[in-house]
């Protein structure tokens, strides 16, 4: 299995985490993006993610491999949901195992940042006032979207 995947069904975390267990690993860091009930001050009902799957998987895979090279972690993987997601649903999961916690945290943070800025996935938010919007941020800042 590859280190990055697009999932059309709810993400099952346990087997993803289990893949990263390693006798040389002393540290594991994970990040989860959940669907929040608000964004930029607007109450959100739920959302839909859409991906250009072939390119998303290729670019996601590149990100994870670049991260492992850059920070020297032992292993990492990332899965991103597509489809309709209710509030509270898991949208993206990143897990990293490393000998030490510096590499685990840095790799995990770098992967989610790069996934948010480079992988062709789009969020369509439904607001409680009945309107909805595709989110096309000009640039992704750490605090302006999702998590």
* Contact status: 16 vs its own copies (CB under 8 A): no
* Contact status: 71 vs another protein (CB under 8 A): no
* Contact status: 61 vs another protein (CB under 8 A): no
Report DSSP state, residue 123.
E
Q: How far is CA 104 from CA 2, 25, 66, 100, in A?
A: 19, 10, 14, 7
Q: Which of 112, 115, 119, 121 binds its own copies (CB under 8 A)?
A: 112
Closer Cβ to another protein, 12 or 144, answer by number: 144
List Cβ neighbours of 84 (8 Å cut-off, separation of 6 or more): 46, 47, 48
* Contact status: 135 vs its own copies (CB under 8 A): no
- CA dist 18 and 16 (Å) reads 5
Closer Cβ to another protein, 73 or 119, answer by number: 119
* Contact status: 136 vs another protein (CB under 8 A): yes
């Amino acid at each position: 299995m590859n280190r990055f995947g697009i999932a059309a069904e709810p993400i099952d975390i346990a087997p993803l985490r289990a893949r990263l267990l390693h006798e040389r690993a002393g540290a594991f860091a994970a990040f989860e993006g959940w669907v929040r009930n608000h964004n930029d001050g607007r109450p959100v009902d739920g959302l839909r993610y859409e991906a250009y799957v072939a390119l998303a998987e290729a670019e996601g895979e590149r990100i994870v491999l670049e991260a492992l090279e850059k920070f020297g972690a032992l292993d990492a993987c990332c899965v991103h949901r597509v489809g309709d997601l209710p509030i509270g649903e898991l949208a993206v999961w990143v897990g990293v195992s490393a000998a030490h916690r510096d590499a685990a945290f840095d790799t995990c943070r770098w992967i989610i940042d790069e996934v948010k800025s480079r992988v062709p996935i789009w969020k369509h938010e439904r607001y409680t006032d009945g309107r909805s919007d595709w989110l096309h941020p000009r640039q992704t800042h750490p605090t302006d979207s999702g998590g």
